[in-house]
Structure 1
Amino acid sequence: MAWILLVVAGVIEVAWSIGMKFTEGFTRLWPSVFTIIGIAASMALLAQAAKTLPIGTAYGVWVGIGAAGAAIVGMLALGEPATAARIFFIALLLVAVVGLKATSGH
């Protein structure tokens, strides 16, 4: 169950990090409200997952999902550059996330 919570927390992290772009420095009300709710929800789920998973693993996976997911969404939906180098480093992040999961002992 902790891994499911952690993956959901990571997906919410992608959503709030993309949402932050639309807050315009937290000057737009509704994008800011949704972003803040997303931050709180993502952190709460991470905290729940960290009750049973090692914190280094939980935090690393959470950050990895968020960073890779935000970069992918940025390239696919926001017109950010999709260079070979960026794709390579996103792949490295995903390998690291899988490696953390595989070596966590859970």
Structure 2
Amino acid sequence: MNWIILIVAGLFEVGFASCLGKVRETSGTEMYWWFTGFIISLVVSMALLLKATQTLPIGTAYAVWTGIGAVGTVLVGILVFKDPVSFWRIFFITTLILSIAGLKMVSQH
């Protein structure tokens, strides 16, 4: 169950990083809405990470959390923000995904 909580925490990390990107691109009332989404996503992500680390090793949980956030943020950047796509970006994102799966497989919990 705590692995699911950790995955959801990582998805909220993608949310706060994406909201931060939109805050940078907008102004006025729209910027404040994105900033509110950033704060809410940040708080939820941290709370779920805290919950997951109650039973998972902190090093593993943090690595998986940041990995999910990094992979998800790159994908959102490519799909939503039209960030550049290259062989090496995809290659290293793939190795990061494999590393996250490897940490899950070798974890004792």
Please indicate the TM-score interval, normalised by the length of the shorter structure.
over 0.9
Query: Letter of the aligned partner of 2:106 in structure 1?
Result: T
Partner amino acid for 1:105?
A: Q
Gaps in structure 1 of 5+ consecutive residues: none
Q: Which amino acid aligns with 1:104?
A: S
User: Does residue 1:104 correspond to 2:107, yes or no?
Assistant: yes
Alignment coverage as a number of residue pairs: 106
2:63 maps to which residue? 60
Equivalent runs, 1:5-24 vs 2, <5 Å: 5-24=5-24
Q: Percent identity?
A: 45
**Compared CA separation, residues 101 and 26, structure 1 to 2 (3 A):** farther
1:21 alignment partner AA: G
CA contact (8 A) 1:16 1:36 kept: yes
The 1-side partners of 2:26 and 2:58 are apart by 30
| Deviation per residue, 1:54-82 (Å, 9 max, x gap) | 00010000000000010011111211011
CA–CA distance in structure 1, aligned partners of residues 73 and 13 of structure 2? 8
Runs of 4+ with deviation above 4 angstroms: none
TM-score calculated relative to the size of structure 1: 0.94
Moved more, 16-25 or 63-72: 16-25
User: Which residue in the other structure is 1:30 paired with?
Assistant: 33
Alpha-carbon offset, residue 24 of structure 1: 2.1
- Structure 2 spans left out of the alignment, 5+ residues: none
